[in-house]
Structures are given as C-alpha cells and as structure tokens.
Amino acid sequence: MLASICNLLVMNMFFTLSKRNKTARLMALALVLIMGFALLQTPTQAVSQSELNKLKQQQAQLAEEKSGIQSQLDALSSQVASQTEKLELLTEQLEITNSEIDILSEQIALYTDNIARMENELTVNRQKKQVLLKNYRAYIRTMEENGSYTYLEILLGASSLEDLLSRIDTIREIMTYYDGLVNDIKEAQERIESAKADMEAEMAAQEEVFAAYQEKQADLTSQQEAVLTVLTSLAADSSEYETQLQSVNTLQASLSGQISDVETQLAELDRIRAEQEAANQAGSSDTGYGGNSDWYGDSAGTGTGTGQDIVDYAMTFLGVPYVYGGTSPSGFDCSGLVYYCYKHYGYTVNRTAAGLAYSGTAVSSSELAPGDVILFTSQGGSYIGHTGIYIGDGQFIHAPHTGDVVKISSLSSDYYTTNYWGARRIAS
C-alpha cells in the first residue's frame, strides 16, 4: 500500500511538472524510479507483476520523453545549421565590404595628396607671378633712378625715324618678354586649377561611395552580431537538451536494470512456487520446503534448539559440497543448509534466501548472536540471493556457490560487507 501511495504521489508530481519544466520533469521521474524500486527492495511484500507493469509503463513514458527531447535537439540542430550558413554569408560580404573600404581609403588618400601637391604648385605660381611683377617694377624704377628716361622720353628723344623705330622695337621686346612670362604663369595657374577641380570632384564622388560602404559595413556587422546572439542562445538550449538526454539515457539504463532484476525475482518466485507445489503434491518432507506453500511470512514455528545448538550442528557439515537446491548432508545450497539445520531442531523456516528474510525477527548488525540468519543481496543489490548462519566473532558458516563447500567466512571481507542486507533471529 505504501509503495502504491508514494508512487502515485510522485507520478502526479511528474505529470504536473511536465507542463512546466523538462529538467524538473526528469528529476521527478528519477525520484519515481528511485522511490519505487527502493520500496520494492523492502521485505514487507513480494514483488508482483503489477510492480513490473508500473516499471514498464515508466519505461514507455521515459522513451516518449526521450523522443521529445531528441526532436527538440534535431530542430535546434537545423536552426544552428541555418544560422551558421547565414553567418558565413554575412562574414563573406563583410570581408568584401572591408576590402572595398580599404581600396577607397587608399584612393581618397591619393586624391588628397595630389590636391595638396596642386595647391602647392598654385602657391608657387602665384609667388612667381608676384616676383615677376615686382622685378618688372623694380627695373622701371632703376631706370628712372639712374637718370634713364621713361618710355615716353625714349620715344621723344629719338634723333631720327630710324632711331625711333629702333627704340619702339626695343620697348616692344621688353614688354613682350614680361607679358610672355605673365601669360605662361597664368596658363599654368589655370591648368592646375582645372586639374585640381576635377580631382576634387572625383574625390567627392569617392567619398560618397566610401560613406555608403561604411553604412553597409555597420549594417553587416549588426546583422552578424544578431546572428551570433541567436547562435549563442541556440547553443545554450542545445546544451540543456543534451544534458536532459544524458539524464534520460542514465534513467533508461537504471530502469532497464530494475526491470531485469524484477523479472529475475518473479522468475525465481515462479520456480520456488512450482517446487513448493511439487513438494506438497508428493507429500515429502525431504524437499526442504516442509509442505510450506506460502514461503513469505513468519513461518519459524517453535523449535527446541538454541542459536548455539544451530551453530554446533551446522559446523558438523563443514566440507560438504555445494549443490544447487540441495537440502541434505550429501549437498547443500546456501538456504538449504540453513533450512536443514533449523528443521533438525524443530523449526519450520522458509526454504529460500529471499523467504528467510521474512522469518523470525530483525536483528541489527551490532546485536548479532550465534544462530542468527544473515542475508546478502546479489545481482547488483537487486534482491536477496545468499544466506548463512552467524557463529560469532564476525564470522558465519555457509554454502557459497557451485564448486565450493560449506565453510566459514568473515563478514569483514569486502564482498560480504558490500552486499550485507540484514539478519533475522529465529532461535534464541
């Protein structure tokens, strides 16, 4: 009844949490398996087919849960692949954009250098023009300061027509020379200014393209960061689902082991019951079951021997070979030895190790006395599979296994310490 109530409560919690949080759901399911099977291990009631069915139902629920988690992982994987492809495309576009920006930067820098050079040439030409005009004015002043005549005086002072024409040619040559120099400078100035204007226009166009590429760069970078954020979130979700999947796999392995153990116990119960029925039908007391068809429950009865009597009698069988199912001095299995020794003194006890867990009264390990029946688990702790008789000083007598003989062993050995289940007192 307690197992059913606890299982019901925990399963109710499982289905409530299943609508809210997957991780919490797995924890609840683990609690179901742990509590449920722990209750199966207590010797208050035998395992039953209904308990096995519950475990298999939980197994089916766990498989469904695993399928759902795997579907989520598959969906996340598809999203990751899509976002990764998008990120690769954005990265490629960004690399091209960055390359174009670098080229444009170099071109703008070249334009800037050329414009600066032209500005310098214009400045030099302006200076040349100023120097030329300054020199021309200085030449005229020098002529006047040295007593020379002005152009008008030169013309009026001609002694003849031939002299006048000669003087006019001279003046014209001087003016032509200076005019030529000024025109050369002016033409160079105009040429440089035109080239500069063209170059400034080209640079302005390049700067517009440069600005457009910068906007594209910022947009691509923003998109790239958004995709990276999505990928980070997807990675976190995937990690969570991977953890859940690992938990499910662990639970499945545990549950499969529990189901196997319960099936083994049920098979053993069926075998024992079949042997008991055969023994009852034959009416034989040598079968080792004493006609006891119900191997669970306190069936010790009233005997005449003490615990020490049981020990002394059991010691007479040291060296008897182990025989599976044996209940006579020609061969014993573990429970057969216990059964035979107690039957000798009039006690009716259960024939199997599992059944002996229900005989007599429980005794703590610190209160063990000679004659107490000690019990051990087997199959990975899934059920009681071995028994013996405590003789004192931390030792017990038992029939270990096929190929061995009845002998004395120590409770302090690693195997028996690890697998110790408990003890029952049948004889005082």
Which of 241, 126, 244 is CA-nearest to residue 185?
Answer: 126
Integer angstrom CA distances of residue 30 from 25, 27, 184, 189, 240: 9, 5, 100, 92, 17
Can you tell me whether residue 304 is helix, strand or coil? coil
Which of 16, 81, 91 is CA-nearest to residue 238?
Answer: 81
Which of 179, 174, 176 is CA-nearest to residue 154?
Answer: 174
Q: Which residue out of 6, 344, 398, 401 is catalytically annotated?
A: 398
Burial of 347 (0-12, 13-18, 19+ CB in 10 A): buried
The answer to whether 201 and 207 are in contact (CB under 8 A) is no
The answer to whether 339 and 286 are in contact (CB under 8 A) is no
Q: Which residue out of 6, 334, 341, 344 is catalytically annotated?
A: 334
401 is catalytic: no
d(C-alpha 81, C-alpha 233), whole Å: 14
334 is catalytic: yes
398 is catalytic: yes
Tokens 């002072």, located at residue:
157
- For residue 361, which phi and psi values (nearest 5 degrees)? -125, 155
The answer to whether 332 and 281 are in contact (CB under 8 A) is no
Amino acid at site 292: N
d(C-alpha 218, C-alpha 233), whole Å: 23
Give the catalytic positions in this structure.
334, 386, 398
